[in-house]
Amino acid sequence: MSEQGPPAPRSDAGRAGAEPASPMRAEHAPAEARRHEPTIGWRANEIEEELPQLRLVVSHARLAGAGAAKRASPRGVERRLHDLSNRYKGARAVGVRREPVPAAYRVFYRQIGLDPEVAQTPIEAAVLERMLHGGFLSEGLLQDVLLIALIDTGVPVWALDAEAVDGELGVRLSREGEPLGRASDAWSLPAGRLVVADSSTALGLLFGEVASDCRPGARTRELQLFAVQVAGVPTLYVEEALWICRNGLEQAR
């Protein structure tokens, strides 16, 4: 996958006819940019057979200074949240599930046995929170940037402390009783759950919680970002979501 320099983010990227700009080809990107090129995570054999269109798309981001993951958002990020809040009112908020990208995640939820009316997709959960609170509320730089990427594109992105990741990220099924993360008090997983894992450990549930010891903290300097792509979600939307996160985190002061 390629490095991208998209136009200014917009809140209707998940709607029909709203295509992001084509990304920059990797061979024309500088060396540091190529290091952060989005890559496709591995899939266990059973995932390739049962869910061939599921992809984990991984990227990196270097934070702008110590403690950046936990600091308050700069005014520009908070203004962006305010602008997005104004665009998701009334009929737009109610109808978000019918837009192409959110609808694709709803279809996938049903495919893996989740009822999207009960276990909401990330974009629907975010819009519901906006309606309950009267706007998208700031929760700090990292969470705000992830939220902006989600609202702009419809594609959810998660962040891990890069130092907590051993090897490449991928998707597999959990094993009976294995822990979620490496902490001594990590809770045990049942068999057969879809998890995001590194070479040895389940680090998060697909579309769900990330292990407590892998979450970015005050000492985190580099992140591994990952997005989940399913059938019906264009690659450009996934790349744009990751670019929004990298750009927002690396440039924030």
Provide the b/e sequence for 104-142 (b: ≥16 CB within 10 Å).
bbbebbeeeebebeeebbbbbebbeebeeeebbeeeebb
pLDDT at 219: 86
List, for the chain, all residue ranges whose pLDDT scores fall below the cut of 70.
1-36, 65-67, 252-253
pLDDT at 159: 96
Q: Which fold has domain 36-251?
A: Phenylalanyl-tRNA Synthetase; Chain B, domain 3 (3.50.40)
CA 122 → CA 62, 102, 113, distances in Å?
A: 24, 9, 16
Tokens 């899939």 found at: 43
Rounded distance, CA 53 to CA 137, Å?
33
pLDDT at 25: 37
Rounded distance, CA 185 to CA 195, Å?
18
CA angle 178, 180, 183 (to 5 degrees): 105
Rounded distance, CA 61 to CA 36, Å?
7
pLDDT at 21: 39
3-class SS string, the chain: CCCCCCCCCCCCCCCCCCCCCCCCCHHHCCHHHHHCCCEECEECHHHHHHCCCCEEEEEEEECCCCCCCCCCCCHHHHHHHHHHHHHCCHHHHHCHHHCHHHHHHHHHHHHCCCCCCCCCCHHHHHHHHHHHHCCCCCCCHHHHHHHHHHHHHCCCEEEEEHHHCCCCCEEEECCCCCEECCCCCCCECCCCCEEEECCCCEEEECCCCECHHHCCCCCCCEEEEEEEECCCCCHHHHHHHHHHHHHHHHHCC
What percentage of residues in the chain have a pLDDT greater than 70? 83
The length of the chain in residues reads 253
pLDDT tens per residue across span 54-106:
999 999 998 876 667 778 888 999 999 999 988 877 777 778 888 999 999 99
Query: Chain-centre distance of CA 159, in angstroms?
Result: 7
pLDDT at 253: 59
* Per-domain residue ranges of the chain: 36-251
pLDDT at 88: 77
pLDDT at 125: 92
